[in-house]
Homo-oligomer: A and B are copies of this chain.
Amino acid sequence: MTIETAIERLRKTLGPAIDTSDANRRLHGQNESYFPEILPNGVASPASTAEVAEIVRICADEACPIVPWGTGTSLEGNALAVRGGLTLDLSRMNKVLEVVPDDMIAVVQPGVTREALNTELRATGLFFPVDPGANASLGGMAATRASGTTAVRYGTMRENVLALEAVLADGRIVRTGSRAPKSAAGYDLTKLLVGSEGTLGILTELTLRLRGQPEAISAARAPFPTVGAAVDAVIQIIQMGIAVARIELVDRVAIDAFNRHFKTDMPLRPHLFLEFQGSPAGVAEQAETVREISAEHGAAAFDWATDAEERRALWKMRHNGFYAMKALFPGWGAVTTDVCVPISRLAEALATAEQDILASGLVGPIVGHVGDGNYHAALMVEPGNETQLATAKAVAARMAEKAIALGGTVTGEHGIGMGKMAYMAAEHGPGWQVMAELKRALDPGNILNPGKVVDLN
């Protein structure tokens, strides 16, 4: 019962789909955050659900940890093999298996990325709306319950995964949910697996909800005098039930970084970046109402991105904000935060965070999916600067504690991974122990992404 025996047995069964080369192990030991490199003992690249089940059975037999891997774009070390073992790279399972336009669903393998799916859907008039920025795999997005800029309108992966196929810790293949839009038939295993970060099962097939491509889209950006004024406008917009497709806060520090990296000249003020989708008349009505609300809250302008190209440029800037920061500080890492609070407490939470970052001396722009109460600071850290790392972690910790105190969560969309384990007891209370009981029931040997989400001690 060792990892080495597991890998030997897997090699015999699966041949070249098991790779223990240093190059491949290092590729799967990286992360986009500040966590140090952690190498798995080997990398498996299965091509089918049957192969995944075979791998899991052997690993269960040998008590070898298995860590699922999509594109490696997670930000909390979610896919790092902290207890060694096998990284299960699902990128070869990248087929769109079926699109049913009448049901507005797509069935995909877990390695399909969201951009690949949307490319394939282009001719159908449908699209998959969840957009975390990175071109993540849909399996990874489901596993971390990802969301992003469009969640305010279309929901997160929680709302957009209709059914799953998964391989459990003993190699059983189960199907959860159905193609019916809703069901009251027992425990919602789909929603239990979404967000479980590979600790309860390995997602091998996803049935996703699609939406009709909107007839009309328009986007705008508006500078506000303060973050508080912008948030007050957002609260009013949400309360009026205006179904904005995106409503993003970009703070002054982030605007400065964007201006420098993207060569823009936006005023150095907190901004809202907005998008409206719908019928031409609906979009016009929404946009005008939002413009009025923004003006009432002191927005100095409301600059339209009139054509598709300008719109793409706006969202490219927002989506690549994190990479833009990293480009301004080449080689630096970032402690990223991901708190999400009730929208009524958002202004208070943001003001506290901004002051704390300012006082810390760190560079830490804030961007946020403010329609959901979710925002991120990217606290830039120079490699090897332990004092700076400690300062960044302390600022991040205070943001997390504040979010819990305000009735929120320490992670709106990045998941727990390695970075948020320390807050689970405070956030969930006795509920965290219940999660451990569920994990023990479904993975008694603790082989699926051990060390993540729950504490089994």
> Closest CB of chain B to A72's CB: distance in Å?
17
> Closest CB of chain B to A441's CB: distance in Å?
4
Query: With A189-B435, A429-B174, A430-B174 in contact, is A180–B409 under 8 Å at CB?
Result: yes
Task: Assign chain A's interface to a size class.
Answer: 35 or more
Alpha-carbon distance between A420 and B186 when the two chains are bound, in angstroms: 10
Query: With A175-B429, A429-B174, A431-B176 in contact, is A184–B344 under 8 Å at CB?
Result: no
How many protomers of this protein does the assembly include? 2
Give every chain B residue within 8 A of A196 (Cβ-Cβ). 186-187
Alpha-carbon distance between A303 and B214 when the two chains are bound, in angstroms: 29
B-contact bits for A421-446, CB 8 A (1 contact / 0 none): 00110011111101101101110000
A29: Cβ under 8 A from any B Cβ: no
> Closest CB of chain B to A383's CB: distance in Å?
27
Query: With A158-B188, A192-B191, A241-B212 in contact, is A342–B182 under 8 Å at CB?
Result: no
> Closest CB of chain B to A182's CB: distance in Å?
5
Alpha-carbon distance between A434 and B100 when the two chains are bound, in angstroms: 28
Give every chain B residue within 8 A of A179 (Cβ-Cβ). 341-342, 407-408
A211: Cβ under 8 A from any B Cβ: yes
Give every chain B residue within 8 A of A420 (Cβ-Cβ). 185
Alpha-carbon distance between A310 and B349 when the two chains are bound, in angstroms: 47
Please determine whether B424 and A186 come into contact, CB atoms closer than 8 angstroms: yes
A343: Cβ under 8 A from any B Cβ: yes
Given contact pairs A184-B195, A192-B192, a sample of 6 additional A-B residue pairs in the complex whose CB atoms are under 8 Å apart: A103-B344, A180-B408, A183-B412, A184-B412, A279-B285, A437-B441
- 5 CB-based A-B contacts, threshold 8 Å: A104-B239, A174-B429, A178-B407, A185-B420, A212-B241
Interface residues of A (CB under 8 A from B): 100-105, 144-147, 151, 155-156, 158-159, 168, 172-176, 178-189, 191-192, 194-196, 200, 211-212, 214, 235, 238-241, 243, 278-279, 281-282, 285, 338, 340-344, 372-374, 403, 407-416, 420, 423-424, 427-432, 434-435, 437-438, 440-442, 453-454
